[in-house]
Structures are given as structure tokens and as C-alpha cells.
A and B are shown apart, each in its own frame.
Chain A
Amino acid sequence: MLAYYVIVPILTAILLYTVRIEKVARIIAIIAQTGMFGFAVYLFALTQDGEIINAIGNYANVMGIVLRADALSAVFVLLTAFVFLIAAFYSFNKQTSKLFWFLLFVWQATLIGIFLTGDLFNVFVLLEIATVTVTVLIMFDRNNRSLYDGMIYMMVNIVIMQFYLFGLGYIYKLTGVMDMYTSAALLNETAVEQLYLPYALLMTFVALKCALIPLFSWLPKAHGTPGAPSVVSAVLSGLHIKSGVYLFLRFQAVFQQVDGSAFFLTVGTVTCIAGFLMAMSQKDIKLILAYHTISQVGLIMIGLNLGGPYSHIGGLYHVINHAAFKAALFLTAGIIEKAYGTRNVYEIKGVLKGMPVVGAVTVMAVLGITGAPFFNGSISKYFIGSGVGMPMSGIMMFINLGTIISFIKYSGILGGKTDRGVTKPGKIQQGSVLVLGLLCLSLGLWGEWFIALLFNNTVHVDRMGYLEKSIIFAVTVAAGYFIFKYFVKGSPLFERIRKIDLSFKAICAAMGIFFITVLLSVSLL
């Protein structure tokens, strides 16, 4: 049954490519996406009773490829179906080609495949397809800039796939299986010294897929390139990057003996801080958002590795929240970019007045990402930081300050008046972003209920603690405004940070350095 979740989008993609009339193709796409969302909800309901295991070709459990859906993968499949549904509605009235729909559906199939498969080699195959698909989508408009960006994205991701395959070879050598769960059990009995090399190889791969600190440089190119349609940036940032987080969780389960949480906590913290510093220094609205994705993934990594009583669940909830607000921000940025004809954050003014719905959604998403009370970011940040000692909770406050400063810069587009002729966005586009904006609010208002529903975990938000965080938020906003006004604006340091751009050789060198660092840190500590 699980194989249909991968086959149906691919068959739909082929069908869409053969349909001649563009309008019919769009309607089929919407129907297919709605159906996929329904199927995903159904799968989610089914996995509440326990995990579903399908062996492809009816080979016995370890012999063939196994598809598994447990509670975690069902949540990710649900998220995938939801984000692609919104993406399909968003692109409904746009001038889209057949190729775009084809690639979008193939991309969805590969992502769902990654979330459902239990076979490590299958992950390799699906990620290679996803890489090629995303590369074509990045270079979709084939302008001057995006060719180079697409080239970097493709080359870097193919190089790292060789690292992954090499690590897989070592796992196969040690265990003789490719199945995640069986190899986890077998690796548990292996001597720990033999695990360091495959662990380092696989974790370098995951770090690049999550864009952790030395390996981030492909992400702003891919997510912020002018050539890619905004809907592609939204899905890349909201969803595609989460496949790295998902694989991190799975590989952690495979290598239970190796403890890399201290290392990834450090890397996550550095990523988080470097991410918002670089976001602050950008002028391009899409690049601000792209660099901010790096920072937020760092925050997710902090949550998953911190080891506080609720940190892990907070990190997982932040995956959902980040998908909601980052998709909303990228989609609204796409509408704004089209309406104003520029991406410079200082040239855009008066979004709230010119486009009230788009402006309101931007406000909601910004409140969500900065962790304002009642919005979704506050709940997950509260859980990541709750019950954690002083150095880390101080760092969390500093990170939130940085997030707020960079979004004070971004919010400059909302107020004021514009003298440009602003084109009105379509109704369906406005509706689809409004759904995301309202989701940001409702994920915050009913946070406990959503966590209980999605992760089957009862948590309670302490009223006093939450109130305290809200007061801290208000103080941080005031502090952030002053820091932005007197220190950040026009500072030569940030001018220099903006020019940081690693070449292909430098990214490869960063991979090597990261690989050696992981190897040394797990084998010596």
C-alpha cells in the first residue's frame, strides 16, 4: 500500500506532461494534490495504531526493499502533502509550463519516498532524483545568475552523495544489510571503533543536506536565486531541507553507540548565530529569508541535541512551524517581488497598504518566526529552552535577539507609502498564503493540542513560564530595534559579511574539514 504514495505522484506527473491543454493540466494537478493530502491524512490516522511495514516484491523482511511508515514518517508525509497542496494552489493562476508541473510532482514523489523508505540504498536513489529535479527547477528561468547557482547546487550535492554511498558501503561491510532497522540492531553489537568512519561519512552528508555551518554556502544560492519561481524556494526552504533533519534522526537511531550530540549541539549553535548574522547583512528579500533558513535549521539541531526534558519534542515541533512560516514568507516575498519589480528591501515600501492580505500574512509569519506570544514559534522555542541550564538558555535568548533584529530589517517593507504602480495579486494566491498565515497563528494558539496530535506526546505550557518568555520577548524587541538602528544599519562589518561567498573548491574543502572534525570529535571524545 505504501508504494502507492510514491507511484501516484509519478504517474500523475507523466499524465500532466501528456495533457495538451494547460488549463486541464492545472485542474488535474489540484485534484491530485488534494487527493494526496487526503491519502496522507489517512496514512497518519493508520499509523496511530502502530507502524505499517510493506516489503516490496514480497521478499522477506531484510532481503528486499522495505517501506515503513511509523509515526514520525507519517508526520513528515503529512507535511509534504500539505506544503505541495499549498504550492499547487499558489501556482494555479500563474503562467506555468507542463515541465514545471511534471518536475513538481516527481519532486513530491521522491520526498515522500525518502520519508517512507526503510532501505538506505533507496534513500540514495531517491535523493539523486531529487537533486536533478531541484537543479532543473532552480534554473527554471535560465537567467544569468541561476545557471551558476544551479551548477553549484548540483555539483555539491552529487559530491556529497558519494560520501553517503561510501559510508553505506562500510555499513554493508559491517552488517551485510541495507535495511535501516536491521542494520541498527546489528551495529549495536559491533565494536564501536569500527563505527567511527561510516558515522563521520554519513554525518558529513547530513550536515550538508541540513546546511550546517561550514557547508551552508549552496543553500542561499539555491533558495534565493532569481531564476527559481518563488514556489520552488518556498518548498525548498519549508520542506526539502527537512529531509536532511529527518535523515539525521534516522541515522542517529542507526548509530546508537556513537554519541555525537555534543558536537552537533555546538555546530547547531554556531550555525544559528552565523545564519542570522548573514541574514542581517543581506539587502535582497529572498536572500534574507534564505540565510534565515540556515539559522532556523541550526535551532532545530539545537533542539534535537540539547537533551533537555522537552527539547527534542520542541525541535520536532519547530520543523512543522518552520515549514509554516518560512513557506508563508517565501510565497509572500514572491508576490511582493512580482508586484514591485524589485527585491531590494530598502526600495519596497507600503506592503500593508497596497496589499492588505499579503501584508497581514507577512506580519503573522514574522511574528511566528520571531517567537511572539500566541504564535507558533514561541511554543517550539519555549519547549526547546525549557528546563535547560544557564549557558544554553542565555544563548537561546541571544539567538532570538538576532532573529528579531534581522526581521526588523525585513519588516521595513510593510510600513510607509509607495509611489510605484503595484499590480494586484490573484485571489487564489492570496487565499493560499492566508491559509499558511492562519496556520502560524493556530499552531501557536493550540500548540499543546497539535503536539499531542502529531507526536502523541503530552506536554504542558507552564503559564508563568510562558508569561515570563513573553515579557522577555517584548524587552528583546525593544533592544533589537535600538541595536538595528544604531549598530547594524550601514555598518562596514556587515558589508563585509555580505560578500562571503564560497566557491565550489572552498565548499569541497569545507566538506573535508567537516569530515575530519566529526571523525576526530567522535573518536577522541
Chain B
Amino acid sequence: MRYELVEIFSVIMFFISFYGLLVSKSIIKSIVFMVIMESAVIMFFLSLGYRRGIYPPIDGYDYLQDLERVADPLPQALMITAIVIGLSVTAVKIVMLITMFRKYGTTDWETARKKSLE
């Protein structure tokens, strides 16, 4: 199995952002790291459809003549869905954070936990 550079990079990025989730004290930073994590997964998927020396199956290239050298379009189609879902879920997360900030007056995980038990 061959590993493309972008694929290795996306795996490293995934685990760096996971480390970020382990250490960030602020909820905002947690949300940012989750967005980075999503981007890493999206990049990983996009790398699946790519090999060196292949062409996208769009106009300008007669792909039906040479099916061996056509890029797989499915990961991109899936990732458009994942990006849209990620966007809307991030919006929900931020709305929740705003509501939480109005109630507790903090964006810190520990303080929020203490306030919730009061």
C-alpha cells in the first residue's frame, strides 16, 4: 500500500488536534480544535481519491477512453456532505456556548462545571 504525503499529514493533524482537546481549558478552544479535527478527516478522505498522475473526471479530458487514470469522485461527494454537516453542527455548538456564557458568565470548562452544580 502506498501512502501519499497529504495522507500522512492528515493523520498527524488528527492526533495533534486530539491532543489539543486533552489540554484546552476553554470551551472556545475545544470547539476550534474540533474544527481542526474535522478538517484533518476531510483532508484524509480527499487524499483517498488522489494518486499521482490521474485526472479528474470532468470536461476537457476524455475520461471514458482511459478509465484507469480517472480519479475516484466519491470521497469528494461524501466530504461535501461532511463539510455541510460540520458547519451546521459547529453553528449549534457556538449557539450553545453563547447561551451558556449568558447563564454562567464563563467559557472555562471547570468553572462551568462548578456553576452547573450550584
Contacts and interface: CB of A to CB of B under 8 A. Distances in A.
Interface residues of B, number: 41
Given A132-B89, A144-B116, A508-B21, A165 B82 contact: yes
A151 B117 contact: no
A18 interface: no
A382 B5 CA distance: 54
A288 B103 CA distance: 28
Contacts of A151: 27, 96-97, 100, 112
A148 interface: yes
Contacts of A155: 30-31, 34, 93
Interface string A230-260: 0000000000000000000000000000000
A194 B34 contact: no
A149 B45 CA distance: 32
Given A505-B22, A505-B23, A148 B100 contact: yes
B94 to A, nearest CB: 11
Interface in B78-94: 78, 81-82, 85, 89, 92-93
Contacts of A508: 18, 21-22
Name the residue in B22, B104, B118 with the highest tally of chain A Cβ atoms < 10 Å from its Cβ: B22
B116 A125 contact: no
Contact of B34 (A162, A176, A509): A162
A144 B21 contact: no
Contacts of A131: 89
Contact of A173 (B22, B38, B48, B110): B48
Interface string A121-147: 100110010011001000100101101
A147 B82 contact: no
Contacts of A173: 48
Nearest to A131: B89
A509 B116 contact: no
B36 to A, nearest CB: 10
B93 A144 contact: no
B116 A128 contact: no
Closest 8 CB pairs of A and B: A148-B116, A508-B21, A165-B41, A162-B37, A169-B44, A128-B85, A169-B45, A145-B116
Interface of B: 1, 14, 18, 21-24, 27, 30-31, 34, 37-38, 41, 44-45, 48, 72, 74-75, 78, 81-82, 85, 89, 92-93, 96-97, 99-100, 103-104, 109-110, 112-113, 115-118
